[in-house]
């Protein structure tokens, strides 16, 4: 993939239907690449994808929180500035996840935030206030964002318009292709992608997930 992790803020969107390979891509390549930096990585795991360490994982989770209370206790113990590591909020509760966004937004913790099922918190018609602030102002305190969703049409327009990089597996619905095509002309080829192949904004050729190998220059 031609997109390179920047020295400061990154904002990446990943779209694809269930089973297309979104979470695999994040676990196998995105997290290990972000982990080369000096910021903590927080994963909002509403799917249970990140709590087990399978053979497809190139990293070790440092801590798993079952709710935001556990995470708050952890932040207090670390004086609000956790060091580099991978921390998973393994909660399906919208209240827990929204409380997490409020904590990061209020404390302005430099970190990377990975959000599974992002459309739960930033739908096309509504967006969580604190998550919206992270999208708009997170760059001021070096907060990376990685959003995963099945359909581009289901997320708020700010999610796609402010992204530095968009990755998409096959999309077949015109409503999902249209918002991407406004930002990225090659999005018109998304319906043609084979299973487990994806396109990256700026690239002409699709990549195959199982054979994709990241380069040594912090590429994802």
What pLDDT does 209 receive? 67
The residue with tokens 């891509």 is 25
Helix (H, G, I), strand (E, B) or coil at 144: strand
Report pLDDT digits (tens) over 202-212.
Answer: 766 777 765 54
What pLDDT does 52 receive? 67
Burial class (CB in 10 A: 0-12, 13-18, 19+), 204: exposed
What pLDDT does 61 receive? 87
What pLDDT does 79 receive? 83
- Quickly list DSSP for 22-59: HHHHIIIIIHHHHTTSSSEEEEE-SSS-SSS--TT--S
Q: Say what percent of the chain tops pLDDT 70.
A: 86
What pLDDT does 47 receive? 87
Which residues of the chain fall below pLDDT 70?
1-8, 52-58, 203-204, 209-220
Asked if 82 and 107 count as a contact pair (C-beta separation under 8 A), the reply is no
Read off the pTM.
0.89
What pLDDT does 210 receive? 59
Write down the domain spans for the chain.
11-211
Helix (H, G, I), strand (E, B) or coil at 60: coil
Q: Say what percent of the chain tops pLDDT 90.
A: 65
What pLDDT does 167 receive? 94
Report pLDDT digits (tens) over 44-60.
Answer: 999 888 876 555 566 78
Asked if 59 and 35 count as a contact pair (C-beta separation under 8 A), the reply is yes
Q: Which CATH architecture has domain 11-211?
A: 3-Layer(aba) Sandwich (3.40)
Report pLDDT digits (tens) over 103-131.
Answer: 999 999 999 999 999 999 999 999 999 99
What is the C-alpha separation between 147 and 113, in angstroms, rounded?
8
What pLDDT does 55 receive? 56
């Amino acid at each position: 993939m031609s997109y390179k992790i920047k020295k400061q803020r990154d904002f990446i969107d990943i779209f694809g239907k269930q089973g297309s390979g979104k979470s695999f891509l994040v676990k196998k390549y995105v997290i290990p690449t972000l982990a080369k930096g000096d910021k903590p990585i927080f994963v909002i795991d509403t799917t249970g994808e990140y709590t087990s360490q399978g053979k497809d994982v190139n990293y070790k989770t440092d801590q798993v929180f079952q709710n935001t209370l556990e995470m708050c206790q952890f932040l207090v113990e670390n004086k609000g500035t956790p060091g580099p590591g991978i921390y998973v909020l393994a909660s399906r509760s919208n209240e827990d996840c929204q409380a997490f966004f409020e904590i990061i937004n209020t404390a302005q913790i430099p970190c990377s935030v990975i959000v599974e099922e992002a459309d739960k918190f930033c739908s096309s018609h509504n967006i969580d206030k604190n998550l919206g602030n992270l999208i708009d102002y997170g760059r001021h305190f070096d907060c990376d964002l990685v959003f995963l969703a099945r359909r581009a049409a289901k997320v708020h327009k700010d999610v796609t318009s402010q992204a530095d990089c968009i990755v998409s597996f096959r999309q077949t619905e015109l409503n999902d292709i249209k918002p991407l095509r406004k930002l990225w002309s090659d999005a018109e080829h998304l319906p043609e992608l084979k299973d487990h192949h994806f396109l990256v904004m700026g690239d002409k050729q699709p990549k195959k997930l199982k054979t994709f190998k990241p380069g040594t220059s912090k590429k994802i």
